[in-house]
Amino acid sequence: MDAGRFHLLKYGLTMALTFIGVKMPTAPWYHVPIARSSTIVAVLTGSRAVVSLLATHRPPS
């Protein structure tokens, strides 16, 4: 499996890091539970990885 198949993963990581970057300074006013935060990061990165693999799927020859 080559790295080109994960071409959309960078967008998922960008969204996850943006979420974390917004979450940290707003923590004094709005608390996001650790489980929910971890789930959001996992869904954002995992979904982009799956979409990347599906978009570059090559049927067996």
Can you give the pLDDT at residue 2?
A: 66
* Stretch 30-50: mean pLDDT: 94
pTM of this structure: 0.82
**Residue 61 in this model has a pLDDT that exceeds 90:** no
Per-residue b/e over 12-30, b at no fewer than 16 CB within 10 Å?
A: beebbeeeeeeeeeeeeee
Tell me the pLDDT tens digit for each residue of 7-24.
Answer: 888 999 999 999 999 999
Contact 6, 49 (CB under 8 A): yes
pLDDT of residue 19: 96
Tokens of 40: 């959001």
